[in-house]
Amino acid sequence: MNTTLEPPLKTPATTDNPGDLGKQTGVESALSNWVGPYVTDMLGKGKAVSELPYEAYTGQLTAGQSAPQTQAFQGVANLTVPTQQMGAFTPQEFTSTEAASRINPFVQNALNPQIADMRRQAEIQRIENAGRLGQAGAYGGGRQAVMEGELSRGLLDRIARTRGEAQLQAYNDARQQFNTDQDRERDAQGITNTFGLAALQQQAALGQQQRDIEAQGIAADRAQFEEERYNPYKMVSYQQQLLSGLPLKAQNYTYAQPSAYNNIVGGSASGAQLYSDLFGGGSGSGGGIMDLVGKVFGGSGTTGTS
């Protein structure tokens, strides 16, 4: 007995309408045959490279500070800044105490020879006057007394005038010296302030340079640490990129064939197709409900000749 079985619906191999293939349940892609061995070898090598241990750079990451910079840093650090002496200059007043302390103590010593010479000249003049008075017969009289009185008064006046001029000069010199000292103290205070401020500014500038150098080292160490920490993630991304753009052209599609009941309920089949699905169609062909009943109750569910 020859038996011919036919499915109730068309298979994907014999259908002419893609809509009759049923619901697509999956797609499987494979490498093209011509590129398969090369890609497989490439992926194997890429996987081996990605699994290599991380090789950290163990050399110097930054240049660091030079020897002159180190000397400059040490010199500025050891520099004594006169912060206690810095400030505003307050001028002093020229008092008698200042004058007495600044008058030349050798003024009197310089005056003594001059005064002694004046007295000697006065004594010579007195002797000459006495000789003339003796020749005139007036020695010891009132005229001689007047002449000697005037001579003594003139001597005292000259001594007083000489001393006064010398003391005035000494006072002026002391005041001038005081003013000079004040100018020097003011200039010294200005120099101290300028030096102190310049030293502080230089310390701040060199300190900033040293801080920048330290910051570069810290940034380089941190960048190296982050690079080593994220290296495994980069390797995963690298492996993913190996699959990007591969020639995955050969594809297999999987479909789920709908049953007659699904076609009836879904209303997707035409009238002729619906009749064929229910009662079977064609000469010597089975299918439809009768075929389904036969399959359920153990019948052949087919038609044929013997």
Q: Would you state the pLDDT for residue 73? A: 80
Supply the pLDDT for residue 306.
Answer: 38
Lowest mean pLDDT among 32-36, 71-75, 200-204, 257-261: 257-261
Phi, psi of 118 (to 5 degrees): -65, -45
Q: pLDDT for 110-169, tens place per residue?
A: 888 888 888 888 888 888 877 777 776 666 667 777 877 888 888 889 888 988 888 888
Average pLDDT over residues 27-47: 74
Average pLDDT in the 221-234 region?
A: 86
For the chain, what are the domain ranges?
A: 1-22+257-306, 86-209
What local confidence, expressed as pLDDT, does residue 149 receive?
Answer: 82
pLDDT of residue 56: 78
> How far apart, in whole angstroms, are the C-alpha atoms of residue 36 and residue 44?
12
> Does 302 have pLDDT greater than 50?
no
Alpha carbon separation from 23 to 18, 19, 27, 249 (Å, rounded): 10, 9, 12, 22
Distance CA 204, CA 76 (A): 10
Q: Yes or no: say if 6 and 286 are a contact pair by the CB < 8 Å rule.
A: yes
- Please enumerate in sequence order all residues whose Cβ is within 8 A of that of 288, keeping only pairs 6 or more positions apart, or say none: 8, 260, 276, 277, 278, 279, 280, 281
Cβ–Cβ contacts within 10 Å for residue 20, how many? 19
| Helix, coil or strand: residue 258 | coil
What is the distance between the alpha carbons of residues 136 and 132, in angstroms, rounded to a whole number? 6
3-state secondary structure of 263: helix
pTM, two decimals, is: 0.40
Lowest mean pLDDT among 66-80, 154-168, 215-229, 278-292: 278-292
Report pLDDT digits (tens) over 58-79: 777 777 877 888 888 888 777 7
Least confident of 106-115, 167-176, 177-186, 282-291: 282-291
Q: How far apart are CA 134 and CA 124, in angstroms?
A: 15
What's the pLDDT at 13? 43
